[in-house]
Amino acid sequence: MTLGLRDSRTRRRRRFWIGLAKFLLVLGGIGALGFYAYNTGSTLAEHDVTVLREEIAQLTSTNESLISENDGLKSDLAAAKREAGDWQGRYQREVPTGEIKRLTDMVVEKAQGGVPLDRLAFLIGAAGNAEACDNQPVTKRFIVPTPLYSGANSWVGFADSTITVTALGQSAVNASGQTEGWFDPEAPVKMQFTHLGGEAAEIEGKLPLHHSLQVGDSEYRFTATAGDRGFMNVTADRCNFP
């Protein structure tokens, strides 16, 4: 009996220690797996952090490059604006406008038409001399033709009718949006000055309009203004030329 109990206790101890060893082995395996997982996770996290740091560094570098490029573009734009302003100022100073441009264009046109430059220089120089005009202006009126009207009384003559003046206007529009037979005095008109046996000169613009025409040693100066409805008034005066 005693021997049997001793064997039973021995077997129970052996099973206990074997079970404990298995438990510790399983626990160690779990710990090893946990350590491996932790170590692997740490490695992956460090790798991700490294990658993120590299991306941040690259983005920072790109951003700095863009900022530098933007600053350069701003500088180029400011320089371009300054240059454009300089050219605009130079254009305004050197390119004629208004009446000066009209006179310049006339000189160029005459020169291109064959008038000698010394003749033009003489005429321009003579323009400073005291004017000798009749100071007896004559005013005549006529009906301005339009796309809807081309009847009688549509021209006037000056200098014993050796100079004729005609015009062409745009049809007036009433409050209902319908076109009328008379011309619109607020719209641009085309005028033609024709000397008998000479060339015709045309001008265009809004009234009042001014024009001068040379005939021999005389210069006829015209001023056109709006008259009564449908009419244009033309005033002419004769001056010595030059």
pLDDT reported for residue 179 = 93
Residue 124 structural domain: 97-129
Mean pLDDT for 5-15 is 73
pLDDT score of 92 more than 80: no
Same domain, 101 and 175: no
Are residues 153 and 236 part of one domain?
Answer: yes
Question: Where does a domain end: 47, 69, 95?
Answer: 95
- In terms of domains, do 43 and 90 share one? yes
Q: Region 147-176: what's the mean pLDDT?
A: 94
Q: Which residues of 179-212 are buried (b: 16+ CB within 10 A; e: fewer)?
A: eeebbbbeeebebbbbbeeeeeeebeeebebebe
Q: Are residues 138 and 235 in the same domain?
A: yes
Helix axes 98-112, 117-126, angle to 10 degrees: 140
Does one domain contain both 178 and 219? Answer: yes
Question: Based on the domain organization, do 116 and 206 belong to the same domain?
Answer: no
Say if residue 38 is in the same domain as residue 87: yes
Single-letter residue type at 111:
A
pLDDT band at 3; cut points 50, 70, 90: low
For residues 11 and 33, membership in a common domain is answered with yes
Q: How many CB atoms lie within 10 A of CB 219?
A: 17
Residue 211 is predicted with a pLDDT of: 95
- Encode pLDDT of 18-36 as tens digits: 877 777 787 777 877 777 7
Same domain, 169 and 150: yes
pLDDT for 91: 66
Condensed to tens digits (0 to 9), the pLDDT of residues 56-72 reads: 888 888 888 888 888 88
The Cα–Cα gap between 25 and 36 comes to 16
Q: 3-class SS at 150? A: coil
In the chain, the number of structural domains is 3
207 alpha carbon, distance to own chain's centre? 29
Please indicate, yes or no, whether residues 75 and 175 belong to a single structural domain of this protein: no
Overall pTM > 0.75: no
Q: Are residues 60 and 101 in the same domain?
A: no
- On whether both 106 and 153 belong to a single domain, the answer is no
| Whether pLDDT at 112 is above 60 | yes
Task: Inform me whether the pLDDT recorded for 130 exceeds 70.
Answer: no
